[in-house]
Amino acid sequence: MAASPKQQRINPDDVEKGVNARTSGSKQDGSKQGGAKQPGPKQTPKKGRPTPKRPAVGPRDAEAREKSAKKAARTPQKNVIEKPKPATARDWIAGARPQTLALAIAPVLLGTAVATLFMTAPWEHWARAVLCLVVAFALQIGVNFANDYSDGIRGTDGAERQGPRRLVGSGAAKASTVRTVAFVFFGIAAVAGIILTVVSAQWWLLAVGALAIVAAWFYTGGKRPYGYAGLGEVVVFIFFGLVATLGTMFVQAGSINLEGWLVAVAAGMFACAVLMSNNLRDLEKDALVGKRTLAVIAGPVVARILYVVFMLVPYAILVFFVLFYFNAGYVYFTLLAALPAILISLFGRSAREYLVVLRLTVVTTLLYALGLSAAIAF
């Protein structure tokens, strides 16, 4: 027969202690719900990552957040294409490039000054001189707007271009509007040229004038612009040097002499220098877009040397006038503007530096023409 397990004896003291423990536990729970908190056994905190405390937001933090939100609102998004602002009157004036008008003034001044050597009275044909100036001004402004139009529709000039804002390239004006403005100035040049032809009775000037307008348009216009083939300086020398200067002289004096040819070459050299300084500024960008100017074809080193030659030839020509015209020597003071332009062109690297070269070249051209014209005429 299997032995029965031993029966456990119950201690009356242990039963009493358990009853008392349960009674005290219920009292502690009741005190947590309503009464005062009773001290209990110390609990061990659970192990793990501590809960981070949220920083208190003060008035300075709120102000900083407000400023950052406003700054973000003002900053344009990179993916958003901003519509260019419409061209203002100032943009149209800049599009005419007033600084290049020295190329129109210089040949008329020099041609008129040499023509006075044949006149019986000073400024005998001043009205013809004014008409020559109108033709030169209108052609210069017309070719500037024509270049804006042609380069803009080809995409060779954009908003990132250095220098004056391009109307078509930047999207500030419609291409058709800029083209119309160019034709308006070509029309003004044609009307003034016709009047000049009738007054002087030199009918062959009509052909010269028509050729000048065609050359102005096809510098960058048409399917094969000669300005994209390195011929810009050649055509500029012919029309803004020889034709403009000798034409001004002939319609007033009816003749051309050695002085006329010399000042015509000087004016043409300065015109080439202005164009070369402009092309040196845009050399890298023109090479990328396939615009093969003389500066691009020759390369930066040769182009800089050519610019120096263009600037110094007029001063070599000046030696002749110093020998026969006493006051012509003062024109050498214009080297104060020419020499800095030459130095910057040789050692400059940025587009901004060549903008300075362009301005100094224009100033030199105008001062040279004024000084030599005064020395010859007076």
Task: Give backbone dihedrals phi and psi of 228, rounded to 5 degrees, phi first.
Answer: -90, 5
- Mean pLDDT estimate for the chain: 83
In this structure, the number of other CB atoms found within 10 A of the CB of residue 88 comes to 11
Query: Max alpha carbon distance in the chain (Å)?
Result: 167
More confident residue, 37 or 114: 114
According to DSSP, the residues that pair with 229 across neighbouring strands are 292
pLDDT for 270: 97
User: Whole-angstrom Cα distance, residue 319 to residue 339?
Assistant: 17
Architecture in CATH for domain 89-377: Orthogonal Bundle (1.10)
Per-residue pLDDT of 258-302, as tens digits, reads: 999 999 999 999 999 999 999 999 898 888 888 899 999 999 999
Number of H helices, E strands in the chain: 15, 0
Residues 6+ apart with CB under 8 A from 58: none
User: Whole-angstrom Cα distance, residue 345 to residue 342?
Assistant: 5
Stretch 65-81: mean pLDDT: 56
pLDDT for 81: 47
User: Whole-angstrom Cα distance, residue 56 to residue 214?
Assistant: 76
More confident residue, 5 or 107: 107
Does the structure show a pLDDT above 60 at 35?
no
Q: What band does 345 get if pLDDT is binned at 50, 70 and 90?
A: very high
Stretch 243-248: mean pLDDT: 96
In this structure, the number of other CB atoms found within 10 A of the CB of residue 323 comes to 10
Percent of the chain with pLDDT over 70: 75
Please give the model's pTM, rounded to 2 decimal places: 0.76
Per-residue pLDDT of 297-334, as tens digits, reads: 999 999 999 999 999 999 999 999 999 999 999 999 99
Task: Give backbone dihedrals phi and psi of 292, rounded to 5 degrees, phi first.
Answer: -90, 80
Calculate the CA 2 to chain-centre distance: 115
Calculate the CA 320 to chain-centre distance: 39
More confident residue, 293 or 11: 293
Does the structure show a pLDDT above 90 at 45?
no
Per-residue pLDDT of 87-122, as tens digits, reads: 888 889 998 999 889 999 999 999 999 999 988 776
